[in-house]
Amino acid sequence: MNEDADIAWACDLDETKAVKLAREFDIPQTTTDYHDVLNDCAVDAVCVCTDHASHAPITAAALKAGKHVLVEKALAAEKGGLQQMFDAHAAHPECVFGAVFQHRFDPEYRCLKKLMDDGAFGRLLNASVQMRCLRTSEYYRGDKWRGTWAQEGGALLINQAIHFIDILLWIAGPAIEICGRHANLTHGDVLEAEDTAAAVIQFECGALGSVEATSSSHLGWEPIVAIHGTEGSVVLGDGAPLKIDFSDASLQKSAEVSFAEKQTNLRGQGKDYYGKGHPAQIADFIQAIHDGRAPFVTARSARCTVETVLAIYQSQREHGWITPGA
């Protein structure tokens, strides 16, 4: 819980879930209709944590009601939803509009980002992510919207892999072209969309990269982010350094020390693989409202990540290279 904010409502289509949450966190009001929340003039901000397809209409309505909004990933399930959100924000630019990508707050990825911003890698050559996790049939049966094109907008790419595609783009820069393929290899009985995917990326800076992901792996949860330049390389496995190699000896030493310092207390509240970024991101969002500034993770920057994922899906449909957001 954040001391700078009070939770006024617990809203869920399933009333029993709303009541359970309210009891657990001493929330005074519950509802199954989000309009009740938006009609409460005492509410300053809302967090949208619903199925992907409902993010856009709820967010647009909240912005139109003058509420600040923090939206869980993925920001929207399709291009039309993204446009609906940003049209609403354009009409209400005074509202703080953020999107959840909590791993941008993880110290190891912030360290990697600083090295990139400082030019430590020289010219970027390759940047890639490998995301291996396990999502069982029971996971998809647990919520009817999961793994559906209509309500989730996909599966593996737009739910699990999107976190590390976001880290890749945040560090290496935007993608200008992408070509990808996806398949359903082991979840045919419970899943409309993909459980395995791969893509090749052309970054704006000229570097080439790749995405490799599956939710059918026995490994459980293993994200690997690799950055390679003319002057250095770093490979992180679930946040821990697997390789740190810089041609400059002093930079090598400082990088080793920096990553070593970041390895303490990496995990936080919630499920272990969430990392500890959620509390930090919520705190930043609340402070942004107080300060009248943009949040650290703006909805606009998150939009680039969603558009890149949607471009992979489009590439599968059209069998070619796609410009994200075009």
pTM over 0.85: yes
Does CATH place domain 9-102 in 3.40.50.720? yes
Confidence of residue 274 (pLDDT cuts 50, 70, 90): low
Q: In sequence order, which ranges of 134-236 are alpha helices (DSSP H)?
A: 137-142, 156, 162-172
Residue 2 has a pLDDT of 75
Cα 320 from Cα 222, distance rounded (Å): 29
The answer to whether the CB of 125 falls within 8 A of the CB of 230 is: yes
Task: Report residue 314: phi and psi, to 5°.
Answer: -65, -35
| CATH class of the domain defined by 104-272+297-318 | alpha beta
Q: Tokens 């291996």 appear where?
A: 132
Give residue limits of the domains in the chain: 9-102, 104-272+297-318
Residue 271 has a pLDDT of 56
Q: Give residue-wise pLDDT tens across range 138-189.
A: 999 999 999 999 999 999 999 999 999 999 999 999 999 999 999 999 999 8
